[in-house]
Amino acid sequence: MRRFVLVLVTALLLTPIASAGGPPSKYREFAQGANVFFTNCPLSLPTTDRLCHDYSVWYVRFNALFGTAPLGSLDFGSTPFVAQFTDDEYVLHPDGSADELRFQAGSTTDVSGSYDRARMTTASMSGATIQMNDIDLSTGIATPNGRTVVLGAFTWTAGGKAYVFGNDGPVLGEMPRHSTTRCETVNSNFHQRFTLGDVSGTVDGIPISTYNQYPQVSGLDPDASGAIFNNWFRIVDLSRGCV
């Protein structure tokens, strides 16, 4: 849950957007698929320090373009779906603060599945074997660590209506549509559409139902641990080269 933005928009967060007084920098991204977040820790604060692991499983296809030249179009059709697993290890303190210990992630295109893009009522993926990497959170550099995670088949079932957001959605919801200063102007346009519901599946043979599952979006459906989504993000950043 704490790594939602990191996993799906790593390029946006780790790449300097602003150009140094030249042509405007542009960023485009789309993301389609389904995910679920769960943890080995209680959802309430512990009374003593607790070693926690937050996990996520994704069946997703996403792509991003970045640069100052015309970017062209993102090719939805040729972008494959991947199975992705993340493991965020940290120490949670009774006051709610946490000390980061390790973040691992891995993905594979050796997976098949289904995705209802139009109505987002269901999604599913076959089992997959994933080779994990340690991720340097300051640089985004991935280093293979020899760990292998085996995902069983996963199924997502939406429980209700589709939610539609713009820049006020759950991803990068703090980013305004337009901001300007003496040195920089940023225009962003986001489209976030998703459904919420239930998820079943296994990780290394253990059903995710044995873990505590995080609600996807606070305030919408507290019982929904999974999401099926169809999102895109566009940003144009013009720097005036102030010193």
The one-letter amino acid code at 133 reads N
Q: What's the pLDDT score for residue 21?
A: 56
Max Cα-Cα span within the chain: 56
Q: What's the pLDDT score for residue 43?
A: 87
pLDDT band at 1 (very low <50, low <70, confident <90, very high): very low
Q: Count the neighbouring beta carbons within 10 Å of the beta carbon of residue 79.
A: 14
Statement: residue 216 has pLDDT above 90:
no
Q: What's the pLDDT score for residue 190?
A: 87
Distant-in-sequence, close-in-space partners of 30: CB < 8 Å, separation ≥ 6: 62, 63, 74, 76, 231, 232, 233
pTM (global) more than 0.75: yes
pLDDT band at 69 (very low <50, low <70, confident <90, very high): low
Highest mean pLDDT among 12-21, 67-76, 171-180: 171-180
Nearest-5° Cα angle at 142, 20 to 130: 135
Count of domains observed in the chain: 1
Alpha carbon distance 204, 187 (integer Å): 43
**With left for phi above 0 and alpha for psi between -120 and 50, is residue 112 left, alpha or beta?**
beta
Statement: residue 8 has pLDDT above 60:
no
Q: What's the pLDDT score for residue 65?
A: 79
Nearest to 37 by CA among 13, 54, 18: 54
**With left for phi above 0 and alpha for psi between -120 and 50, is residue 67 left, alpha or beta?**
left
The CA dihedral of 38, 114, 189, 138, to the nearest 10 degrees, is 40
Average pLDDT of the residues in 141-169: 92
Nearest to 169 by CA among 186, 192, 189, 196: 192
pLDDT band at 183 (very low <50, low <70, confident <90, very high): confident
Average pLDDT of the residues in 117-125: 94
Show the domain range for 112: 4-239
pLDDT band at 4 (very low <50, low <70, confident <90, very high): very low
